[in-house]
Amino acid sequence: MALIECPECSRKISDNADSCPGCGYPINPISPVVVNGKAKEGCFLQTLNIGCFMIISFFVIMMLSFSAFYFIKKKGKDKQDVNKEQVTKPEK
Q: How far is CA 68 from CA 2, 34, 53, 81, 82, in A?
A: 69, 47, 22, 20, 21
Predicted local distance difference test score (pLDDT) of residue 73: 79
Predicted local distance difference test score (pLDDT) of residue 32: 64
Under 8 Å between Cβ of 27 and 18: yes
The mean per-residue pLDDT over the stretch 6-17 comes to 89
pLDDT in tens, 12-71: 988 888 888 889 888 877 666 666 766 666 666 667 788 888 999 999 999 999 998 888
Q: What are phi and psi of 77, to 5 degrees?
A: -70, -40
Predicted local distance difference test score (pLDDT) of residue 64: 94
pTM across the whole model = 0.38
Q: What are phi and psi of 39, to 5 degrees?
A: -70, 130
Tell me how long the chain is: 92
